[in-house]
Structure 1
Amino acid sequence: MQIHQYDVVIVGAGGAGMRAALESSTRVRTAVISKLYPTRSHTGAAQGGMCAALANVEEDNWEWHTFDTVKGGDYLVDQDAAEVMAKEAIDAVLDLEKMGLPFNRTPEGRIDQRRFGGHTRNHGEAAVRRSCYAADRTGHMILQTLYQQCVKNEVEFFNEFYVLDLLVDHDLAAGHVPEGEEVTVSGVVAYELATGEIHVFRAKSVVLATGGAGKIFKTTSNAHTLTGDGMALAYRRGIPLEDMEFFQFHPTGLAGLGILLSEAARGEGAILRNSEGERFMERYAPTIKDLAPRDIVARSMANEVREGRGAGPNKDYVLLDLTHLEPAHIDAKLPDITEFARTYLGVEPYTEPVPVYPTAHYAMGGVPTNIEAQVLRNETDVIRGLFAAGEVACVSVHGSNRLGTNSLLDINVFGKRAGISAAAYAVDAEFVELPEDPAATVTAGLELIRTRPDGERVADIRKALQESMDLNAQVFRTKESLTQALEDIKALRKRYLSVSVQDKSRTFNTDLLEAVELGFLIDIAETVVVGALNREESRGGHFREDFPKRDDEGFMKHTMAYRRPLPTDGHRQWGGGDGDTEGRFAYSEVFDDYQLVLGSKPVTMTRYQPMERKY
């Protein structure tokens, strides 16, 4: 076991992690730990753009952007966070331009902007051009630009190191912290892929920037590596996860595959059609049609299929029509996604509509933070020295539904804030003493799986989990479907206890690490399903067919999911977790050796009161 010591340790080298590293590394000694080579991080898959009210193409302002974000999130957005993001968006784009990011340009040489779903002028009057883009490779360009800057600034990277434990001086999952005591981070434990060696990173500040958890679903735009690592590590330590029931299903995944075709296609004029050739979004969102927010478009598409207007031999998808656009325009603005259609479906977008269907895309929930990126351990109290940014975090700027292009903005605005906050804390803080054997839990768990002679196969359990989540917890949900998903998850958790791997080696053992990641996926799936069961309303990406209306009186609040010990009397313990003695959601679910307890947190309102969400 090797022990390293840094002022700040950043877990994850995607957009949020590297943006944090650029700020932190100029102030204090910083390390970035990534299970991937940084330029392979999933930020590179983002296509459409990064929004900011630059007004380079037409009138716009940050207040309209804030309103659209709040309305798009179905009023579950914390409005102070949305204001910060919209205000700082302009500088975030200009920062990237100064770093060398090759944005598309207008004829006058300004950064070009295009329309995206839910972004409007004057509080809904019409769609507005707000998305700054680099063809349909914006995320790739951001990732490359940030990595080049990190190399220039000599940021220290530990690539292909898997962080498998988060070290804090109180294990919240073991019970409540004594009143008046603070909880402080002390570092992380990581596994080095190349050697199989365990490394402990002692740190004053830790920044979680590990991305999302889309692989809980079978049909997803997410890479194989997006297994919810950071969320699960926090959850296992008793840190709550916020609003996990809200998962975004991007409307235009390649049918049957889930590979993403960017919303930029519709921003450039592509049209969704059913089997009858009808532009059906005119019925669901008469004002902005195909550029309605993603949750509305995804449900509309799924509804067309359910009502028999799906296309194809099995009538199980709809069509994205680009055939009316000039080929030169397609080549200039959408080169990658049209090539995907040719490569994976054998469809020529110049002359044929592309088969599409919703795909699991983005987790609106995550590790709760405030606007300074500090992680919360309950409704109000922070964990000293622990920060989070990007998809792993819930600040909450996306509420129950994220607007397109707000994710690339989120990682830059709050990645920057996380780096600044982590460094500022580290300057004055002291190192916390590590446990006597900080890697004991990780080492024992890995060896148990690696040396087990036979047992359940990782791929079998993962497939069963993903198929159940696709069937029971996707675009449309009911009590019956979610109950079935929860039963499946409980059964799979028991099977996971006997999981084994074929590769028994200690070096480059990806088989072993996939087994660990499967445990993370099961953890995240249970928080999604239990939260969805309890939220008896429909809001944003969460649609309950048995409760089809939004219920502001009962559910205008964030869900906080806590992992806690089983009650000693053998009965369910009602009420919330640490800091939620009122039990505002009053729900818990008992598993074999712990319980998942739901608490809540109020939504921060500033200037926008909830209203009916129309487009």
Structure 2
Amino acid sequence: TVILATGGAGRLYVGTTNAYSCTGDGMAMALRAGLPLKDMEMMQFHPTTLAPTGVLITEGCRGEGAYLLNKDGERFLKRYAPNTMELASRDVISRAEQMEIDAGRDVDGNVLLDLRHLGAERIIERLPGSRELSMTFLGVDPIYDPIPVRPGAHYHMGGVATDVWGQTELTGLYASGECACVSVHGANRLGGNALMETITYGKRSGRHAAEWALSHTTVEVPESAERNAERELRALLERADGERPWSIRDELATTMHENFGVFRREHQMAQQGEIVSGLRERYQRVLLEDKGEIFNSDLTQAIELGFLLDLAECMVVAGIERKESRGAHARPDDYPVRDDEKFLKHTIVRLVDGAPQLSWEPVRMTKWEPQERKY
């Protein structure tokens, strides 16, 4: 048995809290193997990240009483979540921040996280890590100055479709953690619940995979699959001219942030689909400078770029067809409200003849029925 546990795909975006290695490898490999990906449009944005690094400033700052201010020094959340203010959920605060930024009430594309009123003693005692990050990556000491923050891609609720034991449609293949979609988070993961997907469902997947392996014969990998993979690697390594991967990757990350970020608009999503298509064409001529076969990070990054392009295409296809606002998928201009009658269902994307094909799957509900969330 094999368990995919490759994490998320935050590196689709120029601003992300994810590690550089979070390029959706497991999701893309499953997709190419003919497996379905579920809810790929559901990318969560965290409201307090540092630009341009994407380093996360913990929600503990707001838990301790920090304020979010616009350039005029106004606690702008009174217009968006007047009852909970800075303690509203991530998606609400991220959208509020983005609206302030889009309205020009920003500071160089950021809003301000203000801890100054907490006092030096409390900041040093309760939030030393956040202070250190701010000073290290921005040169800002929150004891004296507010921290510039902006929404950044944080967690992908979508992923490889699995059952509650981590099983995929392919016999002997499991997926667990952020690369999987059970789905325990629906359209909007709550803070801390990633532990449920990693620890609880990771344990279930591991146990089930081990039991399956002990009671079944080995699943052989077809020789043709190995030969195809070797041929693709040789083609990358032997190419003599073309475009370097980083230029394509940078353009993908920048345009995804602009066109498929906190807010989604029909024309921007359609434009992003065209951009991704063009980038995929350019990727066919991607050039490696390192031709070695040992610890070749140039090769690794080129392969990862191919994975990211596959996933971006799936996300855009699903996002365009979900004509409502739900969880992390916000369409403020044309479909600003949730539509349970038409869209209380999962998006399912498969590769058919090399292109993503969308279908829908009903949401399984047991005890709890969905209700409108109000602040």
Q: CA deviation at 1:256?
A: 3.5
Matched, 1:319 2:106: no
Matched, 1:270 2:66: yes
Name the counterpart of 1:540: 327
| Cα shift readout 1:357-392 (whole Å, capped 9, x = no counterpart) | 1011111100011212212x3xxxxx3222111100
Q: CA deviation at 1:481?
A: 0.1
Matched, 1:245 2:33: no
Q: CA deviation at 1:521?
A: 0.5
Matched, 1:406 2:193: yes
Name the counterpart of 1:502: 289
C-alpha distance 409-264 of structure 1, shift in aligned 2 (>3 A): farther
Name the counterpart of 2:369: 609
C-alpha distance 602-496 of structure 1, shift in aligned 2 (>3 A): same
How far apart, in 2, do the equivalents of 1:431 and 1:609 lie? 42
Does the 8 A contact of 2:68 with 2:114 survive in 1? yes
Name the counterpart of 2:161: 368
Matched, 1:560 2:320: no
Name the counterpart of 1:308: 104
SS of match in other structure, 1:238 = coil
Name the counterpart of 2:174: 387
For 1:331, the aligned partner's letter is I
| Cα shift readout 1:179-233 (whole Å, capped 9, x = no counterpart) | xxxxxxxxxxxxxxxxxxxxxxxxxx11111000011111111111111000000
How far apart, in 1, do the equivalents of 2:290 and 2:51 lie? 34
TM-score normalised by the chain length of structure 1: 0.59
Of 131, 135, 140, the match for 1:342: 135
SS of match in other structure, 1:527 = helix
Q: CA deviation at 1:276?
A: 2.3
How far apart, in 2, do the equivalents of 1:527 and 1:262 lie? 30
TM-score normalised by the chain length of structure 2: 0.96
How far apart, in 2, do the equivalents of 1:342 and 1:208 lie? 37
Matched, 1:600 2:354: no
Unaligned runs of 5+ in 2: none
Name the counterpart of 1:549: 337
Does the 8 A contact of 2:348 with 2:361 survive in 1? yes
How far apart, in 2, do the equivalents of 1:206 and 1:433 lie? 12
Of 25, 31, 54, the match for 1:235: 31
Name the counterpart of 2:149: 356
The worse-fitting range, judged by mean Cα deviation, of 326-335 and 522-531 is: 326-335
Matched, 1:212 2:212: no
Name the counterpart of 1:329: 122
Q: Which has the larger share of strand?
A: 1
Does the 8 A contact of 2:15 with 2:51 survive in 1? no
How far apart, in 2, do the equivalents of 1:554 and 1:364 lie? 20
Superposition pairs for residues 448-597 of structure 1, below 5 Å?
448-544=235-331, 545-565=333-353, 594-597=354-357
How far apart, in 2, do the equivalents of 1:433 and 1:406 lie? 36
Superposition pairs for residues 439-450 of structure 1, below 5 Å?
439-450=226-237
Structure of higher CA gyration radius: 1
How far apart, in 1, do the equivalents of 2:87 and 2:37 lie? 30
How far apart, in 2, do the equivalents of 1:304 and 1:335 lie? 28
How far apart, in 2, do the equivalents of 1:441 and 1:263 lie? 46
How far apart, in 1, do the equivalents of 2:265 and 2:161 lie? 26
Q: CA deviation at 1:289?
A: 1.7
Name the counterpart of 2:204: 417
How far apart, in 1, do the equivalents of 2:221 and 2:362 lie? 35
How far apart, in 1, do the equivalents of 2:27 and 2:53 lie? 26
Of 295, 299, 318, the match for 2:91: 295
Q: CA deviation at 1:437?
A: 4.8
How far apart, in 2, do the equivalents of 1:496 and 1:300 lie? 36
Does the 8 A contact of 2:112 with 2:149 survive in 1? yes
Instruction: Work out the percentage of aligned pairs sharing the same amino acid.
Output: 48
How far apart, in 1, do the equivalents of 2:51 and 2:151 lie? 8
Name the counterpart of 1:159: none
SS of match in other structure, 2:171 = strand
How far apart, in 2, do the equivalents of 1:432 and 1:301 lie? 50
Q: Which has the larger share of helix?
A: 2
SS of match in other structure, 2:350 = strand
Q: CA deviation at 1:337?
A: 2.0
For 1:608, the aligned partner's letter is W
Name the counterpart of 1:158: none
How far apart, in 1, do the equivalents of 2:295 and 2:74 lie? 52
How far apart, in 1, do the equivalents of 2:118 and 2:192 lie? 23
Q: CA deviation at 1:552?
A: 0.8
Q: CA deviation at 1:532?
A: 0.4
| Cα shift readout 1:266-298 (whole Å, capped 9, x = no counterpart) | 122222111222222232122322121111110
